[in-house]
Structure 1
Amino acid sequence: MKNIIKKLTAIAMCGVLTVGSVLMTGAVSEYEDRKDFEVTGTTQKISNNQLFVITTGYTENTAKNFGAMFISTDYQKYSVMFKDCIDAPKFVNLPKNQEFTRHMITANNRYFGNTGMKFNYDSTGGEYVKMRIKLSDYFPDVFNDDGTMTGKLSDGTYKNFDFTYEDFGTDSSGKPCYATSGAYFVSGGAVTSFVPDKNGYAELYISRQLGEDTGLMAYKYCRLKNGAECKITIGGKLNCLTCGDVYPDGNITVVDATSVQKYIAGIVEFGKTQLFNSDVNHDGEISVVDATLIQKYIVGLI
C-alpha cells in the first residue's frame, strides 16, 4: 500500500511540475554554448554489471604504465591495464548487488585516486556513444589548449606533461628520475583512457542513460635529479554532457524540464549541447516525451 501511495504521490508531483513549468516564464537564464564537442556516430552496447575498457589516441610514445581498478565492497579487485586495450577493447564482468570504488593503477599494481565514492553497475547496461571533445573547454584548470597538463614542482618550477614517459636517469642516491602522466574517463560502465591530439581534442565513450555522469581521473608525476618533484591526482566531473541536463549546470532539475517545454513552444532556442542533452529517449526529436521523462526522473519514477 505504501508503494502505491508513493507512486501516486510521485505522479501527482509530475503533474505539478508540468503545470509549474508552463508558468515559470523567465526561470531559465540565457545559456551560451561555447564548448566544442562532436558525436562521431560510433556506439557500443554493453550489459549490466559489465565494464567496457578502451583507449583512444594512443601512439608509440604514449606512457603505457597505467590502468583502472574497481574494488568491491567485499574487497575483490577487478583491473585492466590500458596498454592491453590498444588493439581491441576489454570487457570485465562484475558481480551483481555490489558497490565499487574506482582507482587509477600503475604497472606494479599500486592504486590511487580513490575519492571515497562508491558506484553500482547493476543498471549501467545500454548504449554508449563516442564523443570528441575539446578538453580545455570542459576542464580549463586541468588541461592546456593543446591538451597537455601543467604541474608545479616542489622547487617552484613548472613542468608540462604530455602523456609520454620521460626518463631522466637516476639521482645521486640511485633513485629513478622520470616524468609520466595519464588520464581516463568513466561514464557508467565505459572506461576510456585517452591521449589528446595536438589540438587538445580527445575521444571518449559516454552513457546515454538519463542522469548518468561522466567522471575524469588524471595523474601527473615528476622527479628531477635535483630532488624537485610533484605528484598530483586529479578527479573531476564532465559537466554539460549528461543526458537530461538540458540547462547544463551539472544537475537535473525542474529547470531542465521547463527548458524542453519552452523549446517545444518556440520560446527559446537551443545550442548544440542542449539539443544533445534534450533527446532523452534518443528518437532524434525533442518532444513532450523528453520533458515527461525528465520530470519522472526528478521525482524518482525512473
Structure 2
Amino acid sequence: MKSIIKKITAIAMCGVLTVGSVLMTGAVSEDENHKDFEVTSTTQKISNNQLFVTTTGYTENTDKNFGAKFQTTEEKDYDIWFKDCINAPRFLNLPKGEKFVKYMMTQGHGYFGNVQTFYQFDKTGGEYVKVKIKLSDFSRLFNENGTMTSELSDGSYKDFDFTYEDFETDSIGVNCYAESGAYATSGGAVTSFAPDKDGYAEIYVSRQLGVDTKVMSYRYCRLKDGAHCDYGIIGDTLVGLTCGDTDLNGYISVTDATLVQKYVAGIEDFDKLQLFNSDVNDDGEISVVDATLIQKYIVGLS
C-alpha cells in the first residue's frame, strides 16, 4: 500500500511540475548557455556490464603511457592500455552485480584514482554518440588551446600538452621528463582523447537520461633543476554533457523540464547542445514526452 501511495504522489508531483512550468523562466542567459559543441555521425551500442574503450585525436607525438583500470572490491582488475585502442576500439566485459573503483594507470608511476567511490555498470547498456567539444567551454581544467596547466614545486607554471617530453637526466642521474593524459567516462564509454591545437576533442557520451560525463587527468613533471609536480584530477565533470540537462548547469531539475516545454511552445530557442540534451527519448524530435521523462526522472519514476 505504501508503494502505491508513493507512486500516486510522484505522479501528482509530475502534474504539479507541468502546471507550474508556465510560470517559470529560464535560469541562465544565452551567453552562459553557449558551449562549442557538435554531434558527429558516429555511434556505438554496448550491452550492460560492458565497457567501450577508444581513443580520439592521437598522433605520433601523443603520450602513450596511460590506461584505465577498473578494480572490484575484491581487488580483481580489469584494465586496458589506451595505446592498444588506437587502431580499433576494445571492449571489456564486466561481471554483473560488482562494484568497481576506476583508476588511471601510468607506466612509470603505477596508477592513481578513486579509493572510496564505487561504480556499477549493470545498467550502462545503450547507445553512445561521439561529440566534438571545445574542452575549455566544459571544464576549467583545460586552457583555450586544450592544454592543462600545473604549478611546479618552485612556484613556476607549466603547460601540459598530452605529449611525452624527455629532459634526459639530472646531475645525479635521475630521469627528468613530463607526461600528461586524460580520459572521459560516460556510462560505459571510456574515451582517451588528445585535443587538437585549437582545444577541441572528440569523446563518446551516453544517451541515457541523467548520466554525467567526467574526466580523469594526470600530469607529471621533473626538470633538471629539481622542480617537479605530480597531479591527478579524479572525476572532474564536463558540465553540460548530460542527457536531460537542458539549462546546461550540471544538474537536472524542474527548470530543465520547463525549458523543454517552453521550446515546444515556441517561446524558447535552443542551441545545438540544448537540442541534443533535450531529446531524452532519442527519437529525433523534441516534444512534451521529453519534458515528461525529465519530470519522472526528478521524482524517481525512471
TM bucket (normalised to shorter chain) is: over 0.9
Q: Which residue of 2 aligns with 1:37?
A: 37
Alignment-mate amino acid for residue 183 of structure 2: Y
SS of residue matched to 1:205: strand
- Between 1:208-217 and 1:100-109, the stretch displaced more is 100-109
Separation of aligned partners in 1, 2:24 and 2:192: 43
1:31/1:247 contact within 8 Å kept: no
Q: Deviations over 1:79-134 (max 9, x none)?
A: 11101101111100111112211110112681103263221111010000000111
Output one character per residue of 1:32-73: Cα deviation in whole Å (capped at 9) or x when no partner.
333111101100000000000000111111111100111112
Match of 1:218 in 2: 217
**Alignment pair present for 1:19 and 2:12:** no
Question: For residues 174 and 287 of structure 1, what CA distance do their matches in structure 2 show?
Answer: 65
Equivalent-residue separation in structure 1 for 2:100 and 2:252 (angstroms): 24
Percent of matched pairs sharing the same residue: 66
Q: Any idea what the Cα deviations from partners look like across 1:155-214, whole Å, max 9, x if unmatched?
A: 122222111111111222222111110000000000000011111110100001000000
User: 1:186 matched to which residue of 2?
Assistant: 185
Aligned partners of 1:50 and 1:118: how far apart in 2? 16
1:62 match: secondary structure: coil
Structure 1 runs (4+) greater than 6 angstroms displaced = none
Are the equivalent residues in 1 in contact too, given 2:38–2:272 (CA < 8 A)? no
Given that residues 43 and 128 in structure 2 are in contact (C-alpha distance below 8 angstroms), is that contact kept between their aligned partners in structure 1? yes
Of the structure 1 ranges 208-217 and 27-36, higher mean CA displacement relative to structure 2 is found in: 27-36
Q: Is the 8 A contact 1:37 1:134 kept in 2?
A: yes
For the aligned residues, what is the CA RMSD? Answer: 1.5
Match of 2:258 in 1: 258
Q: Which secondary structure does the structure 2 equivalent of 1:119 belong to?
A: coil
Shift of 1:7: 1.8
Deviates further, 44-53 or 30-39: 30-39
1:176 match? 175
Q: Aligned partner of 1:3: which letter?
A: S
* 1:199-238 paired onto structure 2 within 5 Å: 199-235=198-234, 236-238=236-238
Residue 287 of structure 1: CA displacement?
Answer: 0.5
Letter in 2 for 1:189: G
Alignment partner, residue 73 of structure 1? 73
Post-superposition shift, 1:29? 4.4
1:17 is paired with a residue whose SS is helix
TM-score normalised by structure 2 residue count = 0.95
| Structure 1: runs of 5 or more not aligned | none
Q: State the Cα distance separating 1:263 from its structure 2 match.
A: 1.3
Q: Distance in 2 between matches of 1:28 and 1:143?
A: 25
In the alignment, what sits opposite 1:114? 114
Distance 1:59 1:232 in 2: 23
> Contact 1:280–1:290 (CA<8 Å) still a contact in 2?
yes
1:74 Cα deviation after fit: 2.1
1:83 alignment counterpart = 83
How many residue pairs match? The answer is 300
> What is the TM-score when the length of structure 1 is the normalising length?
0.95
Gaps of 5+ in 2: none
Instruction: Determine the C-alpha separation between the residues in 2 that align with 1:223 and 1:124.
Output: 39
- 1:53 matched residue in structure 2: 53
Tell me the CA shift for residue 8 of structure 1: 1.9
Asked whether the 8 Å contact 2:26–2:247 carries over to 1, the reply is no
Amino acid at match of 2:89: P
Q: Could you tell me how far apart the structure 1 residues matched to 2:106 and 2:204 are?
A: 22
- The answer for the alignment partner of 2:10 in structure 1 is 10
